[in-house]
């Protein structure tokens, strides 16, 4: 795909995924690719009257997570649901300064997470107990409106990609 530079930039990282910025604004189907440029997950965008819905699926079409945007609601919180409708996590904007943002991520069946980063550069780190489990960045990407998500091996990749989408939406509510 040619999104990344030299090999030393980690383009062979099997835990790196490439996402389009403003995924929620698309309303169409989209793919999340791995660092090699191969499709890894499918995001089914459903544009409904009252809300836009993103359904995160594996390549076999099995629904894993869902995010629904409520148009009439102040967007300081987003819910991530499991395929069965149960809440997986609630992502809430904690504090915003001109360049920095913090988010609290209440995980339903596990330890809570924190995310902190630079809003303008779309550089975030997601942490569990002060240990980084995912990094979101635009620094390795040449294509506009695209960023990478590096996930620590052993973590739920799709869950962290859904959180990334929620962070992107909450960080820039002017979509």
Domain extents for the chain? 7-171
What six digits make up the tokens of 163?
């959180």
pLDDT per residue, tens digit, the chain (175 aa), is 333 333 334 456 778 998 876 554 545 678 898 988 899 998 887 765 455 678 899 999 999 999 876 554 555 788 999 999 999 999 998 866 666 889 999 999 999 999 998 877 778 999 999 999 999 987 755 556 788 899 999 999 999 999 988 888 787 665 4
Alpha helices in 13-138 (DSSP H): 23-26
The pLDDT score that the predictor gives to residue 21 is 62
- Residue 155's closest CA among 117, 105, 116? 105
For the 7-171 domain, the top CATH level (class) is mainly beta
Largest CA distance in the chain: 46
Q: How far apart are the first and last CA of the chain?
A: 27
């Amino acid at each position: 795909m040619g999104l990344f530079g030299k090999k030393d930039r980690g383009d062979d990282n099997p835990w790196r995924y490439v996402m389009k910025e403003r995924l929620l604004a698309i309303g169409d189907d989209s793919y999340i690719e791995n660092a090699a440029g191969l499709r890894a997950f499918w995001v089914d965008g459903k544009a409904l009257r009252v809300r836009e819905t993103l359904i995160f699926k594996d390549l076999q079409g099995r629904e894993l997570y869902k995010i629904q945007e409520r148009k009439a609601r102040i967007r300081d919180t987003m819910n991530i649901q499991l395929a069965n409708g149960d809440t997986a996590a609630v992502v809430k904007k904690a504090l915003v300064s001109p360049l920095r943002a913090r988010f609290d991520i209440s995980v339903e069946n596990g330890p809570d997470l924190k995310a902190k980063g630079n809003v303008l550069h779309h550089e975030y780190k997601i942490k569990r107990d002060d240990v980084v489990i995912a990094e979101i960045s635009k620094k390795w990407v040449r294509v506009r409106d695209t960023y990478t998500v590096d996930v620590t091996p052993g973590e739920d990749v799709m869950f962290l990609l859904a959180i990334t989408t929620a962070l992107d939406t909450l960080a820039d509510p002017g979509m």
